[in-house]
Structure 1
Amino acid sequence: MEKNYSDLAETAIQSIEKIAGTHPGYRRAHAKGSYYEAVFTPNGQAIPYTTAAHLQQEPVKAIVRFSDSSPSPKMMDGLSPVKGMSVQFQLPNGQVTYLVSVTVPVFLTKTPEAFVEIIRLTAQKPGPRDLVKMFMKYPESKAAFRIIKHMKPFLSYSTSCYYPIHAFYFVNEQGKRQAVKYKWVPDETFSLEAKKESAVHAMDYLEKELDEQLPIGFTLYVTLGEEGDLVDDSTASWPKERTTFAIGHLDINGKIEHPDDQIVFDPTVVPAGIECTDDPVLHARRDFYAASFKRRIKGL
């Protein structure tokens, strides 16, 4: 039986609002974003590992949302280091599935309870001693904070790599499960124009720069986990020597000018051929997103 994280989600949202204020009608995280039409074309390389409909050989339509991680829709681009790329795949049977990615490869905590405790501490404006105690209590958080601390200024949505963070299971026709992690790699990994634009308009330029770069593309890679690789800890990285290969390409063709912003990019909504691991942070996201959506549609 899946654990219910509804109460924890309410606590998290209340803490986020103490930090960033309340912005009625917006998501409680990744509030600022823009939508694009896309087509995902699988290359067939995933077929031995999964029966998932969008990873076979036929192209499927997709909707992509690029976003800033901040809870504030007015956050200036240069002030929030982590960005997001969420993809809704529209499956042939009328169903959908999602990949929710950010520009860092690991999460802050092993559990949603620890994540909420860190948010609550942040809302209380902790001092240096409080931060030291937090890192002693949650040493696994150091990896993510270290990555964020040393991140270079973000230049472009279209030239960055994105990581869905969590491990999933691919399930093939024989019922065999294979642990995998995903990674989106951009077709273009450096943009001189983006660098110039960020220097001139460092505070608010990413959406404009992305629109000017269209069409753009990303290749979806998977890494195959092996025995001993952690699948239920989103703070843990797998060894670099693990087998990694491309399973498809995403072509982002045009902006959706008046999007239906009611999509809930829930990474636990997976099709036949893919299963969620026991990662508690992954499973908590369903209730966290549902709580945010409930407020959003009520204009709260």
Structure 2
Amino acid sequence: MVSSSADQTLAVQVVDSMERMSGRHPGCRRSSARGAVFRATFTPTGAAAALTTAAHLQTRPVTATVRFSNSEGDPHTPDTAPVTRGMATRFHLQDGSDTDLVALSVPRFVASTPREFLELTEALRPDPGTRRPEPARVHAFVHAHPHLAEAVAQQPPVPASYACTAYWAVHAFIWVDAAGAGQPVRYRWEPEAGRTDLTAAQAATRTAHYLTDELHQRLERAPVAFDLRIQLAGPDDPTHDPSTVWPDHREEITAGRLEITAPADGQDLRDTQAFDPTRVTSGIQISDDPVLAFRAHAYAESHLRRSHERQSR
């Protein structure tokens, strides 16, 4: 196990590298800098109750807060860019506590360890002249880490709507039942409206903030819903590597339905919240995935920096 001080040192290095990659934008997240926050209700189906004692996966609905975003650290990145989208959900539990689920519009993460992620962000640092990553550096990274070739090469489509995209939590978690038995799982939000992407020609006709604008317009007509799909690991499925996916034929259950109803009140205040995938509740444990454990340190460093920047304005 890596020591906490080593994790903190690496977190500083990673956030520094992300700033070099995306530029410094005071007061903003170093990843997923621009987003919008919404109110929601999560209603469990009860299908997960035999596998975990987690309160929000039993029978009673809970309120939730959802943030959709582009993955980029530059808040000026337009919605038309072919980048990863994020969906962060905070479940507000009956006892007053919260638990978070952070998901991306791609099924695998781009690194299997925190050190690999640091090396990748350095490889993606834009050339000062072209303002784009140097292909030779990216190719060198993939050559040194061939097991990440598929993850690095994945090209996220441009979605027609935040409401028409699937989102994967990419990490494995351990569900713990009433007898103390554990079951590794992975989460996916599946849109009730179905998955719909734009062609390059269609994307070229959209505005820079069309995803947020479209979702607001859609919510004026009706709520937006997602099913929480749970993939149950087989005995040989790895839980430590978020750059891999489990076979499609693994058993799945639908643990609940999320219904997004309206933009959150106090949008600016809500947008300063820090979602953390390691903020779990009783009945859920983090796995042996080192990237999952490390994200808490990187998020804390990013949150500390932007909080200081906001206070100094």
TM-score class normalised by the smaller sequence: over 0.9
**Distance in 1, Cα, partners of 2:294 & 2:254:** 29
**Distance in 2, Cα, partners of 1:97 & 1:81:** 26
Deviation at residue 2 of structure 1 after TM alignment? 6.3
Deviation at residue 155 of structure 1 after TM alignment? 1.8
The one-letter code matched in structure 1 to 2:244 is A
CA gap of 1:190–1:52, structure 2 versus 1, over 3 A, is closer
Name the residue aligned to 1:276. Answer: 286
> Which has the larger displacement, 3-12 or 286-295?
3-12
1:193-215 deviations in whole A, cap 9, x for unaligned? 99998453253311000111111
| Secondary structure of 1:79's aligned partner | coil
> Which has the larger displacement, 257-266 or 231-240?
257-266
CA gap of 1:191–1:165, structure 2 versus 1, over 3 A, is closer
1:58-100 deviations in whole A, cap 9, x for unaligned? 0000000000101011111112421000000001111100000
Flag structure 1 segments of 5+ consecutive residues without an equivalent. none
The one-letter code matched in structure 2 to 1:123 is R
Name the residue aligned to 2:139. Answer: 132
| Secondary structure of 2:90's aligned partner | strand
TM-score of the aligned structures, taking structure 2 as reference length: 0.90
Query: Contact between 1:197 and 1:209, CA under 8 Å: does it hold in 2?
Result: no
| Secondary structure of 2:194's aligned partner | coil
RMSD of the alignment, in Å? Answer: 2.1
Structure 2 residue 307 is matched with structure 1 residue 297: yes
The one-letter code matched in structure 1 to 2:124 is T
Name the residue aligned to 1:67. Answer: 69
Deviation at residue 154 of structure 1 after TM alignment? 2.4
| Secondary structure of 2:170's aligned partner | coil
**Distance in 2, Cα, partners of 1:95 & 1:2:** 28
CA gap of 1:91–1:276, structure 2 versus 1, over 3 A, is same
CA gap of 1:257–1:94, structure 2 versus 1, over 3 A, is closer
TM-score of the aligned structures, taking structure 1 as reference length: 0.93
Name the residue aligned to 2:130. Answer: none
Name the residue aligned to 2:241. Answer: 233
Mapping of residues 65-144 of structure 1, within 5 Å: 65-123=67-125, 125=127, 127-144=134-151
Deviation at residue 29 of structure 1 after TM alignment? 0.4
**Distance in 2, Cα, partners of 1:114 & 1:38:** 35
1:160-196 deviations in whole A, cap 9, x for unaligned? 0000000000000000000001110011015699999
Flag structure 2 segments of 5+ consecutive residues without an equivalent. 128-132
Name the residue aligned to 1:248. Answer: 256
Deviation at residue 156 of structure 1 after TM alignment? 1.0
Name the residue aligned to 2:230. Answer: 222
Where does structure 1 differ by over 4 angstroms across 4 or more consecutive aligned residues?
Answer: 190-199
Alignment identity in percent?
35
The one-letter code matched in structure 1 to 2:184 is A
CA gap of 1:7–1:192, structure 2 versus 1, over 3 A, is closer
